[in-house]
Amino acid sequence: MTMTLEQDITRAAAILAQATDVTLLGHVRPDADALGSALALARVLRQRGATVRVSFAYPDTVPETLRGLDVDGLLVRPADLPATEPLLVALDTPTLGRLGALGGRVAANTALGGEVLVVDHHTSNEFYGTHHVVDVTAEATAVLVLKLIDALGAQLDEPTARCLYAGLVTDTSGFRRATPSTHRMASRLLDAGVNPDEVVRQVVDDHPFAWLPMLATVLAGARLEPDAAQGLGLAHAVVTAAVAATVRAEEVEAVVDVVRSTRDAEVAVVLKESEPDGDEQVWQVSLRSAGKVDVATAARSLGGGGHRLAAGCTLHGTAEQALTRLREALDTAPLLPG
């Protein structure tokens, strides 16, 4: 841990230690790292006597696969949040835009003299808070939350450790992008009582049967472009709103992990149709790299962001128009060393 990061964690822990009323936010369409990190930190603060609440702007309901993480009922709807709070914590959220409709709370909070702590590991972080714990080398935001918990001198119990494990195992793609420190952290979480098989089954592997025909329909339309992505290959698939309507959001998000498994393409892209903008189609785009193309840079050039190997953005127009923009961005994206 660098001196600067260590200082940031020390300062953030001091703020958290004095906090009595805290709202913790994850990004829109929260994943296990965003929600697990927020719930883990919220549990620790609550045990210290603070009033806490966890929320996110969209969708209206918690993803079914993540509901088991909220054992204390700390999640609240945006409409039930107070007008402001002395301390706002944004987790796993690199930009205000990723907070969705709750992004305005940042300016409102600071205007009244409140503090905003941003805890994140994305390279696209815009440092929009009053305090920051940002480490782009961290495998997950959950890694940074554990450092904060340690700095607070709090003990890990099983529910807190389970939240952190969910974030760690998903953001490392099942420990495929792991370092020795990743496994040391996982060992600590297992020592706290986490059942890894149960967590992975609930958060990653639990799909209804409807997922299979949906996946068959989507994969039937998948295409391979060997010359795209600077000649390293691009595999892409499209999930239309009609097809997505048969399953949960979790099943739609899982499609990219299937598309990325082909060895014939360096980059995998999945376009997921969302609510239209007037007469114009809107696509939520997931990008994955096998290790040679920096997809975060490509996503940022299109208004999105993320990690070098996993990123996303939102595009408007037809699916082919979106793919054209993606091809262009990938053809100019930096190649990664190694």
Contact call for residues 183 and 174 (beta carbons, < 8 A): no
d(Cα 102, Cα 116) in Å, to the nearest integer?
13
Rounded (10°) CA dihedral 7, 12, 17, 21: 170
Name the helix (H) or strand (E) containing 170.
helix 158-171
Q: Does the predicted TM-score (pTM) go above 0.95?
A: no
Contact 137, 120 (CB under 8 A): no
pLDDT of residue 123: 86
Query: So what's the pLDDT on residue 3?
Result: 66
pLDDT of res. 2: 66
User: How does strand 234-239 pair with strand 223-225?
Assistant: antiparallel
Instruction: Check: CB of residue 166 under 8 Å from CB of residue 196.
Output: no
How many CB atoms sit inside 10 A of residue 285's CB? 23
Helix ranges (H only) for 201-240 are 211-220, 228-231
Helices 158-171, 180-191: axis angle to 10 degrees equals 150
pLDDT at residue number 200: 96
**Token duo for residue 276:** 């239209």
Q: In what order do the strands lie in the sheet containing 234-239? A: 223-225, 234-239, 267-277, 280-289, 310-316, 305-306
Identify each DSSP E strand in the chain by its residue range. 21-25, 51-55, 87-91, 115-120, 131-134, 223-225, 234-239, 267-277, 280-289, 305-306, 310-316
Distances (CA, A) of 201 to 61, 70, 169: 21, 17, 11
Q: Residue 18 contacts by C-beta under 8 Å, 6 or more apart in sequence?
A: none
What pLDDT score does 25 carry?
98
Region of residue 43 (phi > 0: left; psi between -120 and 50: alpha; otherwise: beta): alpha
- Predicted pLDDT of residue 1: 62
Question: Which of 109, 101, 138, 107 minimizes the C-alpha distance to 123?
Answer: 138
What does the angle CA 46 – CA 59 – CA 105 come to, to the nearest 5 degrees?
Answer: 55
- Looking at residue 83, what DSSP letter applies? S
Query: Along the 338 residues of the chain, how does pLDDT read in single tens digits?
Result: 666 999 999 999 999 999 999 999 999 999 999 999 999 999 999 999 999 999 999 998 999 999 999 999 999 999 999 998 999 999 999 999 899 999 999 999 999 999 999 999 998 899 999 999 999 999 999 999 999 999 999 999 999 999 999 999 999 989 988 999 999 999 999 999 999 999 999 999 989 999 999 999 999 999 999 999 999 999 999 999 999 999 999 999 999 999 999 999 999 999 999 989 899 999 999 999 999 999 999 999 999 888 899 999 999 999 999 999 999 999 999 999 97
Residue found by looking up tokens 């114009």 in the block: 280
For residues 170 and 119, give the distance between their C-alpha atoms in angstroms, rounded to a whole number.
Answer: 18
Cross-strand bridge partners of residue 88: 23, 116
- Determine phi and psi for 284, rounding to 5 degrees: -90, 125
* Residue range 6-47, pLDDT digits in tens: 999 999 999 999 999 999 999 999 999 999 999 999 999 999
Given the DSSP bridges, would you call strands 310-316 and 280-289 parallel, antiparallel or unpaired? Answer: antiparallel
